[in-house]
Structure 1
């Protein structure tokens, strides 16, 4: 399978943090912002599919890969400023965001001059309070080095756990998760951004969901054209949010892909072991056609 040729670059966000990115393609610029437990290279297949018509920028959101760390005063605004730095350097007014990255792109569209945004299962929920509650336990587990326990906590906090896991004792789930982390590290290349390395970034994702929960009316002012996408097998907790966003966004087209799940826009592997390249290409086709409308 052909792999996109990626070059690297960096920009400086407003608080001085370096934000690194990969770049590929030709034509007008478009920024692709990855989701939770992912990094910039989680969307290389999608970037490759867009690269014939667009110069695609794949930033590592802070705390990952090429980018600097989170700071204690982190908020959604921090992520918007990081995205703004990349958009400015790229000269881009188009962006595609996934999950928490989609929530950041949507929030950015309220204040930045974005003309077109495509979103795949943006992490906007009706009530952010429950996420603030599980984050307390998550932070305690991460602080004592219990990454597997923290991942179990976040899986239930984000309502990602399938029904059959809800009857398994938590201790057993934690041990299963630890074995999965060890197996991935054993098989991964030395420079891979593994789940163990990504686990601490879940705090930021929970912060985004908690902060933006219930803020649907704020998006009535978004002037950008919006392509709002999801999958029929995606996260159940995010489906009501898409229905509400479809109503409040002034310029919105919605697509629900039959049989696609929350990770369908991302490269197969890592936290997306059931991913399919054909699903990535199908989503990329819709994004490309949408971005070419301007």
Structure 2
């Protein structure tokens, strides 16, 4: 078992960012996506730990990190990742979903800070996310967590096809049953969806803010590995294909049979060892 330690850094606005650390070798920051904390890719970090020192931050508003704050937005997330990269000297970062958007924006806004970046399925479809924000805000304010999770899934377009035809009332009922099952501890050490539901607002805001203009990433200097699964939604695969055409130093790899959960721990249907193979090969040049 790889030993995991904890640490903190202070971002530009004074917010504390907590992180886990595991492994040895060159530094690699693994930045989680929506409905996750740093723990959500702990098995991916362990699979990479013999070759890299992996840093797993809790993005602001989650886990051991400070609050999102009133001025929350993509700039704050870029500052947080930048603070961790500077403090640890890590030359590499791997971003998952909304974390991939942050990783790309950091490579764009902080040239020279990252030598290589891994980008796993960034949801670059801002308009759809923006449309769902008012409803999500109302549901969270009313404490209607199952309803908010359904809204988040519809915004992210990550549910199975049947998700689009089932009545919303039934979807909320099924989501409530899932939450109650999680409350019994079936997810082990995983952060629960009930705990993380309020952070959906942050991730939808990020996606809305990032928009869909991929040409803004053309100046990125870092080498970029674009990763995605063949079973992921079409719009995520299309974003990776678009980035491949825009980024000057990009390599695109499709993981056969995997989907948007691929980087997650096994209890969340992830295949971290398979993802680790691609990341290791890209970062080591093998």
| Separation in structure 1 between the aligned mates of residue 47 and residue 13 of structure 2, nearest angstrom | 33
- Aligned residue for 2:274? 282
- Listed one character per residue, the Cα deviations across residues 215-242 of structure 1 (whole Å, up to 9, x for unaligned) are 3111000000000010010122211111
Aligned to 2:62: 64
Shift of residue 161 of structure 1?
Answer: 2.2
**Would the alpha carbon gap of residues 48 and 192 (structure 1) be closer, same or farther in structure 2, given more than 3 Å must change?**
closer
1:10-60 deviation per Cα after TM superposition (whole angstroms, max 9, x unaligned): 011111111000001111111000111111011111111111111110001
Counterpart-to-counterpart distance in 1, 2:283 and 2:189 = 33
- Match among 24, 31, 34 for residue 32 of structure 2: 34
Map of 1:165 onto structure 2 = 163
8 A contact 1:4–1:44 mirrored in 2: no
Query: Aligned to 2:196, which of 180, 195, 198?
Result: 198
SS across alignment from 1:109: helix
Instruction: After TM superposition, list the pairs within 5 Å mapping 1:69-218 onto structure 2.
Output: 69-112=67-110, 113-125=113-125, 128-188=126-186, 192-218=190-216
Mark the runs of 5 or more structure 2 residues left unpaired by the alignment.
Answer: none
SS at match of 1:21: strand
Q: Is the 8 A contact 1:4 1:47 kept in 2?
A: no
Taking structure 1 as the reference length, what is the TM-score of the superposition? 0.93
Q: 1:247 to 1:190 in 2, by over 3 A?
A: closer
3-state DSSP class of the match of 1:233? Answer: coil
Q: Equivalents in 1 of 2:2, 2:172: separation in Å?
A: 36
Shift of 1:188: 4.7
Indicate whether 1:21 and 2:13 are aligned.
no
Counterpart of 1:50 in structure 2 is 48
List, as ranges, runs of 4+ consecutive aligned residues in structure 1 with deviation greater than 3 Å: 188-192
* Aligned equivalent of 1:263, options 261, 264, 273: 261
Q: What secondary structure, in the 3-state scheme, does the structure 2 residue paired with 1:30 have?
A: strand
CA apart distance, 1:193: 2.0
Separation in structure 2 between the aligned mates of residue 156 and residue 189 of structure 1, nearest angstrom: 23
- 2:26–2:91 contact (8 Å) kept in structure 1: no
> Where do 5+ consecutive residues of structure 1 fail to align?
none
Q: How many residues align?
A: 284
CA distance in 1, matches of 2:282, 2:190: 32
Tell me the alpha carbon deviations over residues 249-294 of structure 1, each in whole angstroms, 9 at most, x when there is no partner. 000000001110001111022xx2x33xxx3112101111211139
Whether contact under 8 Å (1:188, 1:194) holds in the other structure is no
Post-superposition offset of 1:160? 1.5
Asked if the contact 1:220–1:250 (Cα under 8 Å) also holds between the matched residues in 2, the reply is yes
Q: Secondary structure at the match of 2:137?
A: helix
Alpha carbons 1:225, 1:252 under 8 Å: kept: yes
Aligned partner of 1:292 in structure 2 is 284
The CA distance in 1 between the partners of 2:137 and 2:163, in whole Å, is 22
> Separation in 2 of the partners of 1:233 and 1:189?
24
